[in-house]
Amino acid sequence: MTSSLPPKHLVLYADDDQDDIALVTDAFSEYANIELKTFPDGIALLNHVRHQPGNVKPCLVMIDINMPKMNGKQVLVELRDISGYEEVPVVLFSTSTLPSEAAFAASFNAGFVIKPLYYDHLSSVAESLIEHCTDEVKKRIKTYQEK
């Protein structure tokens, strides 16, 4: 009898900083049932969402605020206008600590997580990002991690 692997949960992440992408990729690598797909800017992320084959929805979208071409807040506004993405969990992920940034995220039903200053804090940040997923997805991720 062959056991099949559970489907992976898709997380999309847009950030222009390759070091941040590498750190987040490393942090999520311990989650075998999460597939992290990264984008160099918000435009690439939006193009992917609009043209994704099979219309597979991510369990989480992470967006850096300070990006060239289109900042993360603009990406969030456009993402919320895409059919089917009105309720997809989204987090603005930034070095900013301004309360106005968190308030903006909340006004579009999105979370706000501050990027860690130190590499050793990254695993706890990955956990806090996963907390923005739906309860069903969080349960499946945690159950898979415990095996």
**Total structural domains within the chain:** 1
pLDDT in tens, 80-99: 999 989 999 999 998 888 89
> What is the per-residue pLDDT for 146?
53
102 domain residue, yes or no: yes
4 domain residue, yes or no: no
Rounded-to-integer distance, Cα 139 and Cα 12, Å: 19
3 domain residue, yes or no: no
139 domain residue, yes or no: yes
70 domain residue, yes or no: yes
Expressed as residue numbers, the domain containing 16 is 9-146
Instruction: Identify the segments of the chain with pLDDT beneath 70.
Output: 1-7, 53-54, 117-123, 132, 138, 140-147
Rounded-to-integer distance, Cα 121 and Cα 132, Å: 18
- Dihedral over alpha carbons 71, 54, 134, 9 (to 10 degrees): -90
40 domain residue, yes or no: yes
Query: C-alpha distances in angstroms, 119 versus 27, 123, 126?
Result: 9, 8, 12
Q: What is the CATH number of the domain that holds 116?
A: 3.40.50.2300
2 domain residue, yes or no: no
